[in-house]
Amino acid sequence: MEEKNIIINYTEYNCAEELPQLEKTLLEKAIQATSSSYAPYSKFNVGAAVLMGNGEVVTGSNQENAASPSGLCAERVALFAAHHMYPNEPVKAIAIAAKQNGKITADLTYPCAACIQVMVESQKRSGSPIKIIVGSAGKIQVFGSVDTLLPFSFGNLSQ
Ligand code: THU
């Protein structure tokens, strides 16, 4: 028997101005994408921006439904659209931000577990790590790989 532990490495910035250019631009695009959010039920407007290997950025926003499980988070809207548009390109990074009452949230908007599982699949498709940029009105966190958010993931169907 052995006790084990996991260390999560990430970079935290105090504001968007501190971010490297790539992360800054992607986060701005995620914030812009909140404008197409359809969230009449939660009034929580989420935007996501996905950077592909060819440099293209595909954005998405949450799309809600009166029958709530039929709606979809911004991250999955963006990721599925990105894979549809560029099926042979790797996903390099995804930025996420949210607005409430027209203002960027004070709290960080982390992707939900279902979205992280979809990111696991995106990462598996290319074999290269996906950077995750999580934004707020204040601090911003950058994770170098999906593995840091979900170190133990399901994905062994093919064995
Ligand atoms: N939502 C996202 O789009 N992404 C997240 O990372 C968290 C939650 C959406 C789902 C729903 O439309 C609303 O935010 C409230 O949960």
Examine the pLDDT at 97 and tell me if it is beyond 90. Answer: yes
Quote the tokens at residue 136: 């707020």
Q: Is the CB of 71 under 6 A from ligand 1?
A: yes
Q: How far away, in angstroms, is 155 Cα from ligand 1 center?
A: 24
Are 7 and 147 a contacting pair, CB within 8 Å?
A: no
Q: What is the pLDDT, as a whole number, of residue 125?
A: 96
pTM (whole model) above 0.95: yes
What's phi and psi for 21, nearest 5 deg? -55, -45
CA gap 7, 49 in Å, rounded:
27
Examine the pLDDT at 24 and tell me if it is beyond 90. Answer: yes
Give the tens place of pLDDT for each residue, 111-158: 999 999 999 999 999 999 999 999 999 999 999 999 999 999 987 665
Burial of 107 (0-12, 13-18, 19+ CB in 10 A): exposed
Give the tens place of pLDDT for each residue, 101-122: 999 999 999 999 999 999 999 9
